Structure 1
Amino acid sequence: MNGKTIRILLIEDNPGDARLLQILISEESNIQFKLIQVDRLSTGLEFLVKEAVDVVLLDLYLPDSQGADTLARLRVQAPAVPVVVLTGLEDERLGVTLVQAGAQDYLVKGQLTSFLLVRSMRYAIERKRTEEKILQLNAQLERRVEERTADLSRANAELAKVARAKDEFLASMSHELRTPLNAILGLAEALQEQTRGSLNEHQLKSLRLIEESGHHLLSLINDILDLSKIEAGKLDLQFDLIAVETICQASLQFIREAAVKKSISVSFNTNNMQAVLQADTRRLKQILVNLLSNAVKFTPEGGQVGLEVTAEPEQEVIHFTVWDTGIGIPVEELARLFQPFVQLDSSLSRQHEGTGLGLALVSRLTEMHGGSLSVSSEVGRGSRFTVSLPWHNVTAAQQEEATKVTSSVSLFRQALVIEDSTIAAEQIGRYLYELNIQVLAHPTGEGALDKALETHPDVIVLDILFPGMSGWEVLAQLKANPLTKDIPIIVVSVVDEPARGLALGAAEYLVKPISRQQLHQAINRAAHQRVEVRTALVVLPEPEINIEAPLILLAEDNETNIKFLVDYLADKGYRIILARNGLEAVSQAREEQPALILMDVQMPEMDGLEATRRIRATPELARVPIVAVTALAMPGDRERCLEAGMNEYLSKPLSLRGLAEIIERLLDEADEAG
C-alpha cells in the first residue's frame, strides 16, 4: 500500500474522538491517507453509494443507530468494504460477535495507539482483499467444476453412445456375417441331400469341405462375439454343480479325432475322481477345449498331450493343467500370449490355423470364474497351461445332489446307445446299468436304424458327432420310420443345439458333459411321457398328398437366401409366395391367407417384429404359424421374436432339414387345432 493514498471513512459522532483518530493516523508517516468523517450512519451510507473508500472506521453508538445493528446495516449497504469497529466498551464476547457478523477488527477507543490503529486498518484492507481473491478463486473453481461436470456429462453421454454403437455393431456384425453363411451352409446341405440330382463322391467331398469351412467360420464368429460380450460386460455365467471327471472326459472327446489323425497320445489323470465344482459348465468346457485344441495343434505327429486335475482341499483350489510335447513358446513371447488376435510368429500363422482368440477367451473366462491362468514353456519341449479355480467345499447334500444315483426304477428295460466314443459309451452304459437298463451299443451313424429295427429298444441314447452319417440324419431316419418313430430318443452330445434336436423329435437333449443325475432324470421323464405303443405295429400306407400343397409366405430381403429357400421349399412340395419387406409381408398375408409364414427380422420399410404384430392383429391370421428365420443371434433376440407373436425362432445359418421338420410340425399342429 506504500505510495497509495488510503481513503478512510470515519463514522463517528463525537468530535473529540474524531480528532484523536485523525491525530493517531497522521502520526504514522509511512502512509498517505484521506479521512472523510461523518457523524451519522445514514450520512455514511449515502456517501458510500457515491464514493469508494478503502476502509470504514465505525463507531457502534450513533444518533441514528445503536450497537451491533449499526454494523449489520452497514454490511447490507456496503458488503465489500472492510470495517474496523470502534467502541468505548471492552467486551470480548461482543468483539467475537462483531467479527462473526463481518467486521475485520474490533478496537477499544481507550486503548488505541497510532501503530495499533494503522496496523488494524492495513490488516483489514489486506484481509478483505484476500477474502475477495478467495471468493474469486472459489467462483473460478465453481465455474471450472461446472465446466468439468458438463464435460464429464458429455463424455459419459459419448461413452454411452459408443457403448450403444458397440452393441449395435455386435448385433449388426452377427447379422451381416451369419446371413451369407446361412446361404453357404444351407446350399451345401441342400445339395448333399441330392434333391436336384445325383452327385459323385468327389462332388460330395467338395460339398462337405464347403460345409466344414463354413462351420469353422461360424465358430470364429462365435468366438469374436463371445470376446466382445465379455469386454462389454454382457456375458453372464450360469453356475452349477458339475462333476469334474465328466467335463474333462467330454472336453477330451472333443479333440479325440484331431489327435488320432496326428497319432498323438492323449492322457488324463486326476487325484480326485469324485470332485464336484461350482462353475459354468459350457464355459469351463470352452476353456478346456481351447487349451486342448491348441495342445494338439502345436504338437507334432507322434507327440503327447495330457490333462491333469489336481484338487487341493486345504487351499480350496482346483488346478486344470493341459500339457504337451509340442513346439513350445519363447519366454519373451509369453506376455503377449493372451492378447486378442495375436499370433506369436508369422511363420506359425502360416503353418498353424488360428486367430489368436482362443487363449484370450480362456484368460477372460478364467477371470470371470474368479480364477487365474499360468503358463510355463520351453522351446522344443512343450508347454503347460494351468487354470486354477476356486474349489469351495460342498455340503454333503450338494455332493449327493451332483453325483447321486436316482432311486426311482425306470420304466425302460433296454436301451440302444449310439455313440462312437468308447469312453462316453462306457460312461452312459454305467449310468443306465444303475437304473437296471440293459445296454446295447452301436458305434456309428451308419446302420443305426437297422440296429434299432433289429433290437426294438425301449429308449435310444444318441450322439450327434459321427464320422460319416451325422446324428441329425440318424435322428431324422428314426423319426421317419413307422417302426421306430415312437421310441423316445435322448440326444447326448457336445453339439449345443437343443432346439434343433427337439424340433427333429428328440424327447430330451443333454449337452455334454452330463452327470448321472441329468441322464437319470432325462430317462425317467422320457419314460413317463411315452405314449404306450402296441407291440405289433401295423405299417400304414403313406397318405396321398393333397392336390393343393400348403402355401408358405417367405418374408426375406436377401436375394441369395430367397433363391435357395424358395428352391428348397419347392422341392419339398410347398407353394411359395414372396415378400421382400415387412409391409409386403403384412399385405401378402392378409390377401393370400398362407398356411405358414417364414419371417426375417431385419428388413426395409418395416421390420419383421412389427410385421408380426400387425399380422397377429388381423383376426383371421391370429393363429397362423410364424417362424423367425433371422441372422439375429444376440442375447434377447429370441425372446423379442416370441414376444412379438412368433411361434418359433431359428438363427441363421440354419439347418434346412431342421427347418423342414419345424414347418411340418407346425402345419400338423395347425391342422389338429382346426
Structure 2
Amino acid sequence: MGISTETTLLLVEDRQSDAAFVEQMLVEHRGDFGVSDDPSIEIDAVEHVDSLSAGVERVTDGDIDIVLLDLGLPDSNGLETVSTMLEHTATVPVIVLTGQKGMGVEAIKRGAQDYLVKGRLNADLLVRTITYAIERARISEDLRDRNHQLELINQILRTDLRNDVSMIVGRTDQLRERIDGDDRATVDAILEASNHALELTDTAATVIDVIAERPTADLQPYNLRRVLTAELERFRTDTDAKLTLEWEPDECESVSVAGTPMLSAVFEKLLANAAGDADRTDVMITVTVECTNDRVSVSIADTGEEMSEARKRQLVDPIQSVTAQAGISADWYFVRTVLESVGGDLSIENNAPQGTVVTVSLDRISGD
C-alpha cells in the first residue's frame, strides 16, 4: 500500500448529503489523524465517486490509500459491494459505511478493515476508525513483505546454498582418499568446516520456520515423556556421553506441555550443547524433569566446563544479545526463539562440582 505522510481517501457514496457530511468532517479534522508514536498520517486529498463501478475504476488506477465504501449504491447493494471492491484491491484498507451494525460485522468477515454505522457517525469515531484501519493495513503489508523475504531466504538456504555445500563435502571427501600427510590434515579441516556449514543451514532454515509460524501458531499439548524419550534415544546412538533421566516426582512422566513440533529440536540442540561444550568422551549428563500444577521444568546438567556469568547473561537475555550478537550461535538463537513462541523460559546455572545446568520451563497443559 505504501502509506506516506500524504494520504488519499476515496469516498464511494451516492447520497450527496451523506458524502458532504463525511467530507466536511475529514476537512475539519485533517490534522487529528495518526497515532501517538506516528502522528504523520494526514488526509491530503478526498476523492468522491457515487457508484461501485466508478470506485473500482479509481482504485484500479492506483494512488488510493483508503476507501470509505457505502454498501447501498445504484449499481450494487449489500455485502457483494464490499466483496467486489476487495477483488480489485488486495492492499488498500476498506471501511464500510452501513445503516446496520450486523451488516458491518459481516463485511469485516469478508475482508473489510472496519465499519461505520450511518446515523451514529461523529468526527472522533471517524478519525479513530480511519487511523487504525490505516495502521492495521500497514502492519499487514509489513507482515506480507516479511513472509516473502523469509520464503526467499528459506529457498536460498534449503536449496541453493545447501546444494553447493553438499557438493563441496562430496568432492572434498573424494579428494581425501587420494592424498596423505599435511595435505590430508588440510582436507580434513575443510571437510569438518563444510559439514558444520551444512548443520548451520539446517538450523537457520528451522529458525526461519519458527519465525514464520510464530504469529499464527496454535500451541498444542505434547506429552513430554514421548518428546524426551525420542530425543534421548537419538542422543545415545550419536554420542558416547553417559546419560541418565530422572522424574521428580514419578507422576511427571504423564504430563503434557504447551508446545509446537519444534519443541523436540530444542532438547536435541541442548543435549548436543551439553556434550559438545564438555569436549570429553566421558561427560556425564543428567536430565531431570520436575513439575508443579501449572509448570514443568526440564534441567540438563553436564560435567563439562562452566560458563562465565557474562556468557550466561548473553544466552538468556534477549536485550543483552542485541549488542552482543557475535557471541550467540544459531543453535542458541533457535532455542530461545522457540521457547519465546511457546511461552517458555530458559535459565543457566553452574553445576556442582563442575559443569553447567540448562533449565527449560514450560506451561503444563491438559491433554495427552
**TM-score normalised by length of structure 2:** 0.50
Q: Tell me which of 185, 207, 213 is aligned to 1:233.
A: 213
Do structure 1's residue 178 and structure 2's residue 162 form an aligned pair?
yes
Instruction: Give CA deviations for 1:420-445 in whole Å, capped at 9, x if unaligned.
Output: xxxxxxxxxxxxxxxxxxxxxxxxxx
Aligned to 2:331: 358
Q: CA deviation at 1:306?
A: 1.2
2:43 maps to amino acid: E
Q: CA deviation at 1:393?
A: 4.4
Aligned to 2:244: 267
Q: CA deviation at 1:357?
A: 1.9
Partners of 2:28 and 2:311 lie apart in 1 by 53
Partners of 1:211 and 1:328 lie apart in 2 by 29
Aligned to 1:294: 273
Aligned to 1:317: 295
Partners of 2:301 and 2:271 lie apart in 1 by 8
Instruction: Give CA deviations for 1:65-102 in whole Å, capped at 9, x if unaligned.
Output: xxxxxxxxxxxxxxxxxxxxxxxxxxxxxxxxxxxxxx
Taking a change above 3 Å as real, the CA distance of residues 187 and 332 of structure 1, as seen in their structure-2 partners, is closer
Unaligned runs of 5+ in 2: 1-24, 34-39, 45-129
Do structure 1's residue 337 and structure 2's residue 315 form an aligned pair?
yes
Unaligned runs of 5+ in 1: 1-133, 193-197, 399-674
1:326 maps to amino acid: G
Taking a change above 3 Å as real, the CA distance of residues 157 and 367 of structure 1, as seen in their structure-2 partners, is closer
Partners of 1:344 and 1:267 lie apart in 2 by 37
Instruction: Give CA deviations for 1:90-132 in whole Å, capped at 9, x if unaligned.
Output: xxxxxxxxxxxxxxxxxxxxxxxxxxxxxxxxxxxxxxxxxxx
Judge which range, 144-153 or 214-223, deviates more: 144-153
Partners of 2:219 and 2:26 lie apart in 1 by 56
Judge which range, 139-148 or 266-275, deviates more: 139-148
Partners of 1:221 and 1:328 lie apart in 2 by 28
Taking a change above 3 Å as real, the CA distance of residues 157 and 256 of structure 1, as seen in their structure-2 partners, is closer
Partners of 1:135 and 1:252 lie apart in 2 by 64
* Pairing of 1:263-662 with structure 2 (within 5 A): 265-271=242-248, 272=250, 274-277=253-256, 283-299=262-278, 301=280, 302-312=282-292, 315-338=293-316, 339=318, 356-377=329-350, 381-394=354-367, 398=368
Taking a change above 3 Å as real, the CA distance of residues 177 and 305 of structure 1, as seen in their structure-2 partners, is same
Aligned to 2:116: none
Taking a change above 3 Å as real, the CA distance of residues 171 and 326 of structure 1, as seen in their structure-2 partners, is same
Are the aligned partners of 2:203 and 2:330 in contact in 1 as well (CA < 8 Å)? yes
Partners of 1:223 and 1:265 lie apart in 2 by 25
2:243 maps to amino acid: V
Do structure 1's residue 138 and structure 2's residue 115 form an aligned pair?
no
Partners of 2:224 and 2:27 lie apart in 1 by 69
Are the aligned partners of 1:298 and 1:326 in contact in 2 as well (CA < 8 Å)? yes
Partner SS state of residue 367, structure 1? helix
Partners of 2:269 and 2:26 lie apart in 1 by 63
Q: CA deviation at 1:307?
A: 0.7
Taking a change above 3 Å as real, the CA distance of residues 334 and 278 of structure 1, as seen in their structure-2 partners, is closer
Larger relative contact order (C-alpha < 8 A, sep ≥ 6)? 2
Partners of 2:328 and 2:285 lie apart in 1 by 22
2:244 maps to amino acid: S
Partners of 2:222 and 2:32 lie apart in 1 by 56
Aligned to 2:153: 169
Partners of 1:206 and 1:250 lie apart in 2 by 37
2:145 maps to amino acid: K
Partner SS state of residue 308, structure 1? strand
1:175 maps to amino acid: T
Are the aligned partners of 2:297 and 2:359 in contact in 1 as well (CA < 8 Å)? yes
Partner SS state of residue 154, structure 2? helix
Are the aligned partners of 1:341 and 1:357 in contact in 2 as well (CA < 8 Å)? no
Taking a change above 3 Å as real, the CA distance of residues 226 and 135 of structure 1, as seen in their structure-2 partners, is closer
Partners of 2:297 and 2:331 lie apart in 1 by 19
Q: Tell me which of 178, 181, 200 is aligned to 1:220.
A: 200
Are the aligned partners of 1:248 and 1:288 in contact in 2 as well (CA < 8 Å)? yes
Partner SS state of residue 262, structure 2? helix
Partners of 1:327 and 1:387 lie apart in 2 by 20
Q: CA deviation at 1:214?
A: 4.0
* Pairing of 1:106-121 with structure 2 (within 5 A): none
1:368 maps to amino acid: S
Taking a change above 3 Å as real, the CA distance of residues 157 and 205 of structure 1, as seen in their structure-2 partners, is same
**TM-score normalised by length of structure 1:** 0.30
Taking a change above 3 Å as real, the CA distance of residues 239 and 219 of structure 1, as seen in their structure-2 partners, is farther
Partners of 1:344 and 1:300 lie apart in 2 by 28
Partner SS state of residue 226, structure 1? helix
Report sequence identity in percent. Answer: 18
Partners of 2:218 and 2:189 lie apart in 1 by 34
Taking a change above 3 Å as real, the CA distance of residues 180 and 267 of structure 1, as seen in their structure-2 partners, is same
Partners of 1:358 and 1:257 lie apart in 2 by 21
Partner SS state of residue 256, structure 2? strand
* Pairing of 1:54-203 with structure 2 (within 5 A): 138-141=29-32, 145-146=42-43, 157=141, 160-187=144-171, 191=174
Partners of 1:386 and 1:216 lie apart in 2 by 26
Partner SS state of residue 326, structure 1? coil
1:168 maps to amino acid: L
Are the aligned partners of 1:328 and 1:379 in contact in 2 as well (CA < 8 Å)? no
Partners of 2:232 and 2:138 lie apart in 1 by 51
